[in-house]
Structure 1
Amino acid sequence: MQVSPQTNQFVDVRTCGINPNHWYVVARSTEVRDKPIGVTLWHQAIVLYRDKTGKVHALEDRCPHRQVKLSHGKVIGNELECSYHGWRFNWEGNCVAVPYLASNQKLPNCQICRYPVRELDGFIWLFPGDLDKLDRDSIQPMGVPEWEHLNYIATVSSIECKGHYSFLIENLMDMYHGHLHNDYQAWTSASLKDLNTDEKQVKAHYEAQSYYKIDKIWSISQLFFPAFRRLHPEPLDVSYVYPHWVSTLGKDFKIYCLFCPVNQNYTRAYLIHFTSLNSFWRLHKLPVRFRRYLKNSLFGSAQKLLDGLVRQDVEMIEQEQQAYLNDPGRRTYELNPAIASVQKLICQQAAMGNYQ
């Protein structure tokens, strides 16, 4: 429970909405192809589609004629066609064609909501908030610069979690749960050493023991063969950069979690794991074409590890969510100060979204 700065009343973090004045990730680029797809971002049904030039657009997933889903339709050139009666809409949400329109009739003056959307670093970023604020404050997507960088090997795992997004953030910020992960464990013996917060983020610095050290070309095999892993001390930094999460384990690994909260009881997210090749200075002298081939060939090399971590974490989070639903007033006990900071930030940002 946190105190709302606007009302001085206690706010339950498990019922907090989102601050819409941020960029959220609603899909991977590869998921938006020649057919429209439907996504949901905090109760808002949205349709994503590519026009004939390959540009991605986002509209309210609703035909104003009979209120059916436009995501069940198809793309015709630069327009989105409803599957029911064939009404077509442009990227601005205006109706531009009705196949049975009589010569004495005008196009219906109806418009559906459109959303600013950007395709960046392999993902589709969407801004659901105040368009004036977006322009006035020049709000930008966080981005994932390692996605195209030749020195980083990526693995992506999708998260589908029956729980409020606060549970997932708390899990990601709390490095004391490492023993949960058994053979998938990347670190152990974490100890919180520093905690910094402001109105936009929470940064926690841990000291930990890492099972991996990527300092020789054969070191990549540690991802596949546990017997090659050796514990050694590494800094472990985790940051809740609202509404997303970033972590680094030493110099060898960087992880992002990009959020798409669906509703109070369901969260979608993408976990992106990067293995760094920065230590291999000889590799950097090779032709760019070969380095690009190597990066693409090794994509998903940590899939088993990442999917295992996600599966175990989601199981715990869904138990937390169910326990909360069974008894919302039951007290819980927390010893990690990073969690209280995360809860405070969530409540503050939710309040900012409601009152701006």
Structure 2
Amino acid sequence: MPDTRVATSTRSHADVRQVGINPNHWYVVARSAEVTNQPLGVMLWQHPIVLYRDRAGTIQALADRCPHRYVKLSRGQVVGDAIECAYHGWQVDAQGHCAAIPYLEAQQKLPNCRVRRYPVQEQDGFIWLFPGEPARSSQVALLGVPEWDHLNYIASVTTIDCQAHFSFLIENLMDMYHGHLHQNYQAWADPKLQELHEDGDRIDAYYQAQSYYRIDKIWSVSQLFFPALRRLHPEPLTVSYTYPHWTSTLGEDFKIYCLFCPVGPTHTRAYLLHFTSLHAFPNLHKLPIAFRRFVKNSLFGSAKGLLDGLVRQDVEMLEDEQQAYLTQPEPPRELNRALVSVQRLIRTQAEQVYY
């Protein structure tokens, strides 16, 4: 595959809706449960990739492109540790080398061709892929989701899939002033931006807000199901863009992640994770681990209805923004300082290296 990456140091004023990703970061391309011993095709910034598990259950990631006729390997099947193309049965091993051809004649040798192999890790319930220079993958840390396996956190997950550039989504997540949109789905009200910090590839916006939820009684989780039980009270609200992902904390009770997989210039996928803390119940922590794990697993997805409602409403707005931009690309009238910082960070990352 030709190297199409180019430096963009001259693009400091590039249109943020046009810039690409910095590939030298870890992106989330799937949930662990989505990858089996059947090939799974995914797309990360216009690059088709096939994921599968080998005989040991280890995740393998290759360019989704057979070296023979360039059809998608994800249409084939896993044979041992290799993936077999559906078209002619060529097999490509986990290193990307051609391993077998069913009609190879006795005097013929396997062609010296190779499919691109991507660094990939399975951690915290997700598949993380590094699309940039492989040698740099060990130098860049994964964001990680430590609450995923922690027994004191109840998790809910939903998928965001929107026909819009990824900058629209991260701006939406960093903008706490659009609660007017969500009404019954909103977890907080009356946010006020207190501080804004920029440091390298990270932006932290500190808001003071009013939270609708307080997890301090054994029945508190029921507030997620019955909005009438909610009561406003002041809580700090922090949102952070640690390129290319987003995190948020609301008081001591809630942690939210958005793990990005930009598909292309006008298509973004992401995983939105919501964690409810059980730290307020010390007696629960004294119970047997097996029981605590049962509680955690039983309550998995308890906030999914809330997340789905938020995502549905946000995606409509993001796709409206994208279509409006395509029709008449004029700068929006933005007053939130956090979004100016977001655009600056996106441009800076794109200028370092992109493809």
TM superposition score category, shorter chain reference: over 0.9
**Residue 21 (1) aligns with residue 21 (2):** no
Amino acid at match of 1:112: V
Q: Is the 8 A contact 2:11 2:351 kept in 1?
A: no
**Residue 130 (1) aligns with residue 111 (2):** no
Q: Could you tell me the TM-score, scaled by structure 2's length? A: 0.96
Distance in 1, Cα, partners of 2:228 & 2:332: 38
**Residue 338 (1) aligns with residue 330 (2):** no
Q: 1:35 aligns with which of 6, 21, 38?
A: 38
Shift of 1:96: 0.5
**Residue 51 (1) aligns with residue 54 (2):** yes
Equivalent residue number for residue 3 of structure 2: none
Amino acid at match of 1:140: A
Q: Give the superposed CA RMSD.
A: 1.2
Distance in 2, Cα, partners of 1:287 & 1:173: 39
Amino acid at match of 1:130: E
Shift of 1:309: 0.4
Q: Is the 8 A contact 2:25 2:140 kept in 1?
A: yes
Shift of 1:33: 1.3
Equivalent residue number for residue 267 of structure 2: 266
Q: Secondary structure at the match of 1:290?
A: helix
Equivalent residue number for residue 209 of structure 2: 208
1:214-253 alignment to 2 at 5 Å? 214-253=215-254
Shift of 1:140: 1.9
Q: Deviations over 1:16-42 (max 9, x none)?
A: 100000000000001101210100100
Unaligned ranges ≥5, structure 1: none
Q: Secondary structure at the match of 1:11?
A: coil
Q: Residues 217 and 258 of structure 1: is their aligned pair in 2 closer, same or farther, counting only changes over 3 Å?
A: same
Amino acid at match of 2:172: N
Shift of 1:56: 0.5
Q: Is the 8 A contact 2:8 2:353 kept in 1?
A: no
Distance in 1, Cα, partners of 2:12 & 2:53: 45
1:1-356 alignment to 2 at 5 Å? 6-7=9-10, 10-135=13-138, 138-328=139-329, 330-354=330-354
Distance in 2, Cα, partners of 1:125 & 1:222: 33
Distance in 2, Cα, partners of 1:139 & 1:235: 30
Q: Deviations over 1:32-88 (max 9, x none)?
A: 012101001001100000011111000000001111100000001111000011110
Distance in 1, Cα, partners of 2:40 & 2:276: 31
Identity of aligned residues (%): 64
Amino acid at match of 2:244: P
Distance in 2, Cα, partners of 1:301 & 1:8: 45
Q: Deviations over 1:91-149 (max 9, x none)?
A: 110000001111111011110100000000000000001122234xx212111000000
Q: Which runs of 4+ in 1 moved over 4 A?
A: none
Q: Is the 8 A contact 2:35 2:51 kept in 1?
A: yes
Q: Residues 185 and 65 of structure 1: is their aligned pair in 2 closer, same or farther, counting only changes over 3 Å?
A: same
Q: Secondary structure at the match of 2:17?
A: helix
Q: Is the 8 A contact 2:45 2:263 kept in 1?
A: yes
Distance in 2, Cα, partners of 1:8 & 1:230: 48
Amino acid at match of 2:350: A
Q: Deviations over 1:135-180 (max 9, x none)?
A: 4xx2121110000000000000001010000000000000000121
Shift of 1:8: 6.5
* Length, aligned pairs only: 349
Q: Could you tell me the TM-score, scaled by structure 1's length? A: 0.96
Unaligned ranges ≥5, structure 2: 1-6
Distance in 1, Cα, partners of 2:61 & 2:197: 36
Could you tell which deviates more after superposition, 161-170 or 7-16?
7-16
Q: Secondary structure at the match of 2:9?
A: coil
Q: Residues 335 and 307 of structure 1: is their aligned pair in 2 closer, same or farther, counting only changes over 3 Å?
A: same
Distance in 1, Cα, partners of 2:207 & 2:163: 28
Compare relative contact order (CA 8 Å, sep 6+) and give the higher one, 1 or 2.
2
Q: Is the 8 A contact 1:5 1:348 kept in 2?
A: no
Amino acid at match of 1:334: E
